[in-house]
Amino acid sequence: MHEFELISSITSDVIVGDDVTLGIGDDAAALRLTGDTVVTTDILVEGVHFKRQWSPARSVGRKAVAVNVSDIEAMGARPSAIVVALAFPKGLDQAWVAEFEAGVKEECARAGVSLVGGDLSSSPTVTVCVTAIGDLEGRLPVTRSGARVGHVVAVTGNLGWAGAGLVTLQRGFASPKEPVAEQLTPSVPYGQGVIASDRGATSMLDISDGLLGDLGHICERSGVGIDIDTSLIEIPDPVARVAAATGRNALAFVLAGGEDHALAATFPTEVLPEGWRRVGVVVSGDAVSVDGHPWDGAAGWDHFA
């Protein structure tokens, strides 16, 4: 692993937490964690996950961190550190790279993680790969396989905003601003993964491809069904406005929009942690239903569909 240099070397302003015993400057970083380690990686590809004409470089940097740390949160772990690999065209303006770096640092501060290394390369398009590391601190990981019939299904974070923002950008508009901002940089509910774990969450994941589609993973791994109660679903006003302006179903944005990076979990009791809201229940079966019936539409995003 090479020293993470974007334009100038990063020194005193690098975020380094108590977990880091050796940061940037050597072939690898060194961490000291108190529990089992969870590791995840995610990739952002220009033209697939973002477009430079829509996304400022700072937003791309922030999003690259956010979507990875969200997966650490979903395991019930405390985010600890990240490494960032960035590939970009040789003729790319150095100011773009500097703003990307600033975005990475900004989101690291929000997420409470240390930037401990990375790599640079050239590429025909901007491609970002982040690996994130988390500390379970003695907890067991919260997997997708622990849901049981009767458990409450709950979410925390914003649902539907990013999908509405994508449609807005595709139509060439920049407002309503809130959904657009969520599409450019998701508001991850940092800290809620550990809170959910401590409050007995039996399964958990982050909502990256759509609530229905992602809850389907819990159904598959746990051998259960999940029924969503639409009377419990909140449709934010900006999402409703985008739906009305584009002739879309506002509920579909919330249930299947994707890229929100909220968290969904199952709990054995209806007494939920602060910030979590009930949206359904675990039932017998093997799939996700809505108000007791199959959902008539796409359940979320599929890169290979």
291 belongs to an annotated ligand binding site:
no
202 belongs to an annotated ligand binding site:
no
Radius of gyration of the chain (CA): 19
Q: For residue 45, list its beta bridge partners.
A: 127
171 belongs to an annotated ligand binding site:
no
Q: Which of 237, 231, 69, 228 is nearest to 158 (CA)?
A: 237
40 belongs to an annotated ligand binding site:
yes
Q: For residue 129, list its beta bridge partners.
A: 43, 85
Dist. CA 226–CA 231, nearest whole Å:
15
93 belongs to an annotated ligand binding site:
no
71 belongs to an annotated ligand binding site:
yes
Helices (H), the chain: 57-74, 94-111, 161-170, 177-184, 192-198, 211-222, 237-246, 250-256
Region of 155 on the Ramachandran plot (φ > 0 left; ψ -120 to 50 alpha; else beta) = beta
Per DSSP, 79 falls in state E
209 belongs to an annotated ligand binding site:
yes
274 belongs to an annotated ligand binding site:
no
197 belongs to an annotated ligand binding site:
no
Dist. CA 80–CA 38, nearest whole Å:
10
Region of 260 on the Ramachandran plot (φ > 0 left; ψ -120 to 50 alpha; else beta) = alpha
59 belongs to an annotated ligand binding site:
no
Instruction: For residue 104, give Cα distances in angstroms to 73, 84, 99, 221, 286.
Output: 18, 9, 9, 33, 39
> Which residue ranges make up the annotated binding site for substrate?
49, 259, 301
> Which residue ranges make up the annotated binding site?
27, 40-42, 49, 71, 118-119, 144, 206, 208-209, 259, 301
> Which residue ranges make up the annotated binding site for ATP?
118-119, 144, 208
> Which residue ranges make up the annotated binding site for Mg(2+)?
27, 40-42, 71, 119, 206, 209
